[in-house]
Amino acid sequence: METEDHKISFFKPTTQQALKNRNLIIKLFIAWAVAIFGFQVLLKILEKPVPEEALITFSSAWENIESGEAGHSDFRAAARSMIQVMGKLTIQPDHYAALKDGTGWALSKVYPEDELSELQQDVVYLSELREQITSLRDAEYLQTKELIISKAAPALNIGEGTLLAQLLAIGLDENLQVLAEENRAKIPQVMSLYLTHNRSFLTDTIFLGFPFHYFYTAVFLLVFFIGLCWIYCYRTDKLHAKLNFLEQVD
Tell me: the pLDDT tens digits for 54-104? Answer: 999 999 999 999 999 999 999 999 999 999 999 998 999 999 999 999 999
Residue 130: which pLDDT band, with cuts at 50, 70 and 90?
confident
Q: Smallest Cα–Cα separation from 99: which of 113, 110, 88?
A: 88
* Mean pLDDT on 27-37: 93
Report the chain's mean pLDDT, rounded to a whole number. Answer: 88
94 and 30 part of one domain? no
* Mean pLDDT on 138-162: 93
64 and 179 part of one domain? yes
70 and 158 part of one domain? yes
59 and 79 part of one domain? yes
β partners of residue 186: none
Contacts of 44 (CB under 8 A, 6+ apart): none
* Mean pLDDT on 125-143: 89
Is the pLDDT at 2 greater than 70? The verdict is no
* Total structural domains within the chain: 2
